[in-house]
Amino acid sequence: MTVRRVVSVVGARPQFVKLAPVAQALMARCDHVIVHTGQHYDARLSDIFFEDLAIPSPNVHLGIGSGPHGAQTGAMLSALEAVFLTERPDWVLVYGDTNSTLAATLAAVKMRLPVAHLEAGLRSFNRTMPEEHNRVLTDHAADLLLAPTQNAVALLANEGLSDRTVHVGDVMTDVCLAVRDEVAGDPVPFEVDGEFLLATIHRAENTDDPERLASILGSIASLDRQVVLAAHPRLVAKASEFGLKLDRGVVRVVAPLAYPQLIRALLASSGVVTDSGGLQKEAFLLERICTTIRTETEWVETLEGGWNRLCSDLRNLAVLVRRPEPAAVAGAPYGRGDAAALVADALLGARLA
């Protein structure tokens, strides 16, 4: 069967970044339908990514919004079934590890529609993370596993999934490298006086426990230099709920950054403190020291050579952010910026039963 129609399902900020090069690569090669679940709805987490990265507007917007995991995923599952019935895709393409990914996968497999999982094979081995449930379940249900790294290929093999796996590289690297070259001359998107660290915190395991969040915010506020904290709405909501102040000590809070602004800020910074997967990788690609406030990372390549270090004990944060830059160049474990073309080849060259 010839592949005529691919339906991409996205819903959360990092998925829009991944969609950008994939939409470009699929354009003119097949009918590409974009479905936005509405998991992220703030303009700064959604619309500006479509504008800045020249992504075609979604063909379908489900407007699901926030909610507890079951209710949010269930609402998406039901709405996506109706979309797939109308669109009848040859592939449903899902991105990463969000509730939008899991919902689309479930809806598709139950309709016997082929599912391709972009960013397959990542593992934290931390079964308390919602993202880990989502990515493991998706990998085991999907028909084509598009792995970003050789490590992901090996992890999928350990789970008996080799025959469905194709190594394509990391599509976020495609975007990061292209945007780096475009923004080099742009002004830094906030006023800052001298050296600074760029910080983001949004993961449930860091934000949803008041004591944990208080320690993180306290540790960041007492670092040895300015910290620009680009605050995700989840962080703002949780800090306010627990009566914690974000803007204190060396911390200066800014709204979530658009993608080109983020890359510009990262280039201007002397390092990163984060729990975001994407930002760990972007820091690595742009050779900025990253300190990750988590006990593990899915992007283990960033740890090699010391560009990224995990901070599982917050008492070590101040020392970790002061470490010198590694001598080793970061290398190219995520590809050289051509992953989206390989994704398109894998989808369109696939022989479907």
- In angstroms, give the least distance from the CB of 12 to ligand UD1: 4
Q: Considering the candidates 36, 167, 202, 232, report the single residue annotated as catalytic.
A: 202
Residue 32 annotated among the catalytic residues of the structure = no
Q: Coil, strand or helix: which one is 242? A: coil
d(CA 40, CA 112): 28
| Smallest gap from residue 74 Cβ to ligand UD1 (A) | 14
Binding site for ligand UD1 (CB under 6 A): 12-14, 39-42, 45, 66, 97-99, 130-131, 202, 232-234, 237
- Using alpha carbons, list the distances in angstroms from residue 314 to 6, 141, 214, 239, 244: 44, 37, 11, 18, 17
E strand map for the chain: 5-10, 31-36, 60-61, 91-95, 115-118, 144-147, 165-167, 196-200, 226-230, 251-254, 271-274, 290-292, 308-310
Give dist(CA 74, CA 150) in Å, integer. 33
Minimum separation from the CB atom of position 336 to ligand UD1 (A):
25
| CB nearer to ligand UD1: pick between 124 and 291 | 124
DSSP secondary structure letters along 61-99: E-------HHHHHHHHHHHHHHHHHHH--SEEEEETTSH
Minimum distance between the CB of residue 224 and ligand UD1, rounded to whole angstroms?
A: 28
Catalytic positions: 202
